Copies of this chain bind each other. A is one copy, B any other.
C-alpha cells in the first residue's frame, strides 16, 4: 500500500516485467502458438502459474506485450526522430527520411530489439489479433499522418495525396525491410550487418528515397 521511495530498485515487483521481457522475445521468434507458458515461465525464471496470476491467461500476456513493450518502444523511436529533426535549423525532405531511417535502424533500440520488434509486427500482419488494430490506431496511422504533414510543405501544392502516401509507404518499406530481412540480405550479399555497413545502408536509403520523391516533383510539374 505504502509506496517506498527507495531508489535502489524499481518498486514494482519484477516477475511481471521479466515475463513481459522474455515472452516478447519468444513470441516474436516463434509465434504465439509455438511458445508454451512453461517455456515462458522457464525463461523468466518464475513459477508456471505466474502468467495466470499476473495476466489472467496467455493471450492477455501477448496483448500486454504490445501495450507495455511494443508501443512504448515505438514511441521512443518516434521521439528519436522528432529530436533529430528539432535539432536542425531547416528541415528538408532528406532530413526527414534520414531522421526516420536512423530512428528505426540506428536509433535508441538495440539490434536485437529491432529484429524481434519487427518480427512481432510481421506476425500480426499475417495473422491479426486485436493487437494489430491497437497498434495501427495508436502508432502507425498517426505516424504516417505526421510524416505526410512534414513532407508536404516541400512538395508542389498540386501533388496528389495518393502519390505522397505511396511514396511514404515505399520509403518505410525500405527501412523496415532492412531491419527485418537482415538474415537473408547477409546471406545473399555475404556481408555482415556491422555498424559501418549499417551506416552505408542508411545513406543508401536516404539517397534512393530522396531521388524517388524528387522525381515525383518533376513528374507533377511536367
Contact = CB atoms under 8 A, between A and B. Distances in A.
Interface of A: 28-34, 119, 122-123, 125-128, 136, 140-141, 144, 162-163, 165-167, 169-170, 172-174, 176-178, 180-181, 183-185, 187-189, 191, 200-201, 204-205, 207-212, 214-216, 219
B125 A180 contact: yes
- Candidate in A34, A122, A126 with the most chain B CB atoms within 10 angstroms: A126
Contacts of A183: 125, 128
A216 B210 CA distance: 11
Given A33-B33, A140-B184, A215 B207 contact: yes
Contact of A126 (B122, B211, B219): B122
- Stoichiometry (number of copies): 2
A126 B125 contact: no
Closest 4 pairs (CB-CB, A-B): A211-B215, A173-B177, A33-B34, A208-B212
Of A30, A140, A204, which is in contact with the most chain B CB atoms at under 10 Å from its CB? A204
A136 B184 contact: yes
Nearest to A175: B173
Contacts of A214: 211
